Chain A
Amino acid sequence: MTQDITRLSAADLASALRNKDVTSVEATQAHLDRIAAVDGDLHAFLHVSSEEALATAAEVDAKRAAGDELHPLAGVPIAVKDVVVTKGLPTTAGSKILEGWIPPYDATLVERIKAAGLPILGKTNMDEFAMGSSTEHSAYGNTKNPWDLDRIPGGSGGGSAAAVAGFEAPLAIGTDTGGSIRQPGAVTGTVGVKPTYGGVSRYGLIAMASSLDQAGPVSRSVLDAALLHELIGGHDPHDSTSINEPVPGVVAAAQQGAKGDLKGLRVGVVKELSGEGYQAGVSARFDESLDQLRSLGAEIVEVSCPSFGYALDAYYLIMPAEASSNLAKFDGMRFGLRVEPTDGPVTAERVMGATRGAGFGDEVKRRVILGTYALSAGYYDAYYGSAQKVRTLIQRDFAAAFEQADVLVSPTAPTTAFKFGEKLDDPLAMYLNDIATIPANLAGVPGMSLPNGLSDDGLPVGFQILAPAKADDRLYRVGAALEAALESRWGGPILNQAPELKTTELAR
């Protein structure tokens, strides 16, 4: 092939593989080379599994040569966020407390990826236990934003977003508890989808907040996200909260949407998710895209979700409460780090304390303490109980809004990528980054972020689409329509405008 394989979309690479223009080994090697060339700067990966990826690729090539029936994405490499357990591959969730742990089992979504023959390039960096919006809380160093190496790639899934934006992988897996797929997508110019809660199995995702966590696709195009969504989605008997229904036809919806006809579609603009606190460039691009949607035939209506004003407060009670319990198992007794107290008796309780003291970072400790407090006797009703009531109100707001509109839209994040360290000492400022993404998690509805051009500072901004639960296909229809219109205006994907990354000479 004359074209650089790593610049292809997953869909195009898949068809090149199908047409035997390229082998999976070639495609996988090209991405491994790209990782070797740029990841020294980007640090999107915590672990690169070259050998395993190439073995999978060779296997797929052999099957293809033998004429076996293959999954449409067979042979297309993928990166997996390090919060997802992978049998035989180190899995740390960005934490020192799991350094060196090799899981003995695969997450359900990893089983599906392996069964479909996608070579896993490696595990991507993230905020420790997915707690953060900048990937600065990783215990293993910052991931850089390919658009500006002095800036954050978003979080917690900064590694997956940067890997895809930096052409190290065409596809990646993310997880989204309060925006960890969508916000990194927005600030790196990539596509990220949080499916309906229960749409993708959580079995094998190292849990932060069980009632909010959801895995989803990270890609450079809406269609690519749909292809991956259909692969990893669907019922899993190992996850009680998994929806026992077929995955909505998201690929078909993306293909239909790409034709650009949105006649009859009602698009609701959430009043509460705009205005003050939103960067001027972010608001300007958002308004332009509303015009774009209107020109495609959509009707734009304003909707109000008054309870969204309490979403952040409720989120920062429910999430830490569940996390404090989910993270209790990291105690040095069965797996991962074990630290013995330096003086005094070595009792189980003191080993647990020493291990957790040494193994958890500050943000994790902050949330565990918050959550423990919120669940304490005498405080439960005031904190966790009230937060659950807010959650119900937010769900009602969504239900009412979806009476008036088929999808809801907003900017994904209020600002473009900020510089490293800018918000590290101000947790509240950091938390505000997720103001537009959190309501979807609280209500369990699906959301997508797709590239929405560049702000005045030349950095990418995201456009968020939200749909009713189990109507994930609407995200793809609207997203693909808007993407097609915007790309024709830009003359190609937004990532074409990203600066070239400095590549280091390959040793081989």
Chain B
Amino acid sequence: MTAQTSATAPKLVAYEDAVRRYDPVLGIEVHVELGTLTKMFCAAEVAYGGEPNTQVTPVSLGLPGALPVVNGKAVEYAIRIGLALNCSISENCRFARKNYFYPDVPKNFQTSQYDEPIAFDGWIDIELDDGEVFRVEIERAHMEEDAGKNTHVGGLTGRIQGAEYSLVDYNRAGIPLVEIVTRPIEGAGERAPEVARAYVQTLRDIFRSLDVSEARMERGNVRADVNLSLRPTPESPLGTRTETKNVNSFRSIERSVRYEVSRQAGVLDAGHTVIQETRHFHEEDGTTSSGRVKSDAEDYRYFPEPDLVPVAPSREWVEEIRATLPEMPVARRRRLQTDWGYADAEMRDVVNAGAIDLIEATVAAGTSAAGARKWWMGELARRAKQDEIMLEDLVVTPAQIAQLQGLVESGRINDKIARQVLEGVLAGEGDPEAVVVSRDLEIVSDDGPLLAAIDDALAAQPDIVEKVRGGNQGPVGAIIGAVMKATKGQADAKRVRELVLDRIGS
């Protein structure tokens, strides 16, 4: 009787094959929990990990008679996000009620924004792994409140099916959220999984740089719903989409998109139609499974929230907020690349290595951009890789690297010695200056001890001295090498050569 349900799932199509024959189109909804002190519509505290149902008021419990009041800080944060996403900010917008019955929604409606979002018509540039910049258009960013949290007890794997009973914690109910909705993301092609991941990653970076949220994926501060549809060619009309809910790590976003591309290609190849539905992603095996069927006819009976007056941010206020916005990550990278004169490939490596802040600080401490890159992307990158840690977790500061490079540039040590100095710094022996002193590594510049060492070397190899005197300067390196060895590399090789030739010639 339910023959149209996809009980017999068509075969998955290999990803590479799927994207050769179908054009994927993404649409991403990201919810971010704002880091306000209190909830969206009441004074209940917002804090992670409290005892269940302790961070509540009559408002966030939906008690009879309680009324909402808009949190001004949440509006400010929403505007910050909107501006950072190059959106227009509404001059007058209302909240709306989204009506549906579910126990984690205390009023049985969610106070949200419907046709009047606070921010709309924006865009954001994201940078892919190879440095390519991809523009994602933002349809809207609107304010709403979070739901409570259901815990199903007694069933398998915490799911509602088979549970004996369920508990509801309303601590999360009413926490302010901003939901950011993209326009259909077209043109990503085979890079759709990477685009989806990079987009959410960029948003996460933006939320943090705006200081509007801790934006911790693992705590659910940032949650992504990923819509995906396939069509035969980029010119074809949009296909039927599925919405994979609550994909909560960057890796999962990438995997879920890959999987949906393969799955939908299989459905289409088999001559079926994709069912418009929400799907759940499974971390264990990287698959998605059918949730509830979502038709456009689902009726939330939206209407303007009569308990709230419209939000009407003055233009002056919006401009004040705009003036305090920090530089966005992609813009900053572009500026730094220009300042530093790095090639595209160099800059990409720096970004991927997580070295951008470290290099910026090293340059700020007086080192040339090339010098800073030499250390962080060279010896230090090698050390980090060897120890399997992040660059930023090495026990060396940008100031110390700047000092180290300064010692090299002033000729007090050479590059080879500098690596030994770095060893000392990483071993916790103090700043480079201190290590040079304590390890006695300074280049010897007094000719006295050098001449003694040269005379010893000349006396030890009279045959070479003869050859050089005969006009063949080739073997002189052996003498220099012996001198360098005798001085433990602290001698200036150029000076040694001058002195050796001088000695032999006299």
Contact = CB atoms under 8 A, between A and B. Distances in A.
Asked if A pairs with B, the answer is: yes
Contacts of B293: none
B299 A241 contact: no
B416 interface: no
Chain A: interface residue count, which band? 35 or more
Interface stretch (A369-377, A403-411, A457-465, A491-499): A369-377
A93 B67 contact: no
A20 interface: no
A486 interface: no
Interface string A78-110: 000000110000010100001001011101000
Contact of A377 (B64, B67, B299, B306): B299
Contact of A210 (B62, B99, B302, B306): B306
Nearest to A348: B103
Contacts of A91: 64
A277 B102 CA distance: 46
Interface in B107-156: 107-109
B63 interface: yes
Contacts of B101: 328, 331, 349, 352
A286 interface: no
Interface string B288-309: 0000000001010111001111
B381 interface: no
12 contacts: A84-B65, A93-B64, A101-B64, A105-B58, A204-B66, A238-B67, A241-B307, A331-B103, A333-B103, A334-B62, A380-B303, A384-B303
Contact of A237 (B64, B69, B168, B299): B69
A209 B308 CA distance: 13
A87 to B, nearest CB: 10
A377 B62 contact: no
B189 interface: no
Interface of B: 58, 61-70, 97, 99, 101-103, 106-109, 166, 168, 297, 299, 301-303, 306-309
Contact of A328 (B66, B107, B302): B107
Contact of A203 (B62, B67, B309): B67
Given A348-B103, A375-B99, A331 B108 contact: yes
A380 B70 CA distance: 26
Interface of A: 84-85, 91, 93, 98, 101, 103-105, 107, 202-207, 209-211, 237-241, 321-322, 324-325, 328-331, 333-335, 348-349, 352, 372, 375-377, 380, 384
Contacts of A335: 63-64
A391 B489 CA distance: 93
Nearest to B300: A377
Nearest to B59: A238
Contact of A372 (B69, B297, B301): B301
Interface centre among A101, A325, A380, A384 (most CB of B within 10 A): A325
Given A334-B62, A375-B99, A375-B301, A239 B108 contact: no
Contacts of A107: 65
Contact of B106 (A104, A202, A329, A380): A329
A287 B303 CA distance: 43
B164 to A, nearest CB: 10
B99 A325 contact: yes
Contacts of B299: 376-377
Contacts of B301: 324-325, 372, 375-377, 380
A103 B63 contact: yes
Contacts of A321: 303
Contacts of B108: 328-329, 331
B296 to A, nearest CB: 9
Given A205-B65, A375-B99, A348 B109 contact: no
B166 A329 contact: no
Given A240-B308, A348-B103, A376-B301, 19 more contacts: A85-B63, A93-B64, A98-B64, A103-B64, A104-B58, A202-B67, A205-B65, A209-B306, A237-B69, A240-B67, A240-B69, A241-B308, A241-B309, A325-B99, A325-B301, A329-B106, A331-B103, A335-B64, A348-B166
A330 to B, nearest CB: 8
A210 B309 CA distance: 12
B223 to A, nearest CB: 23
Nearest to A371: B301
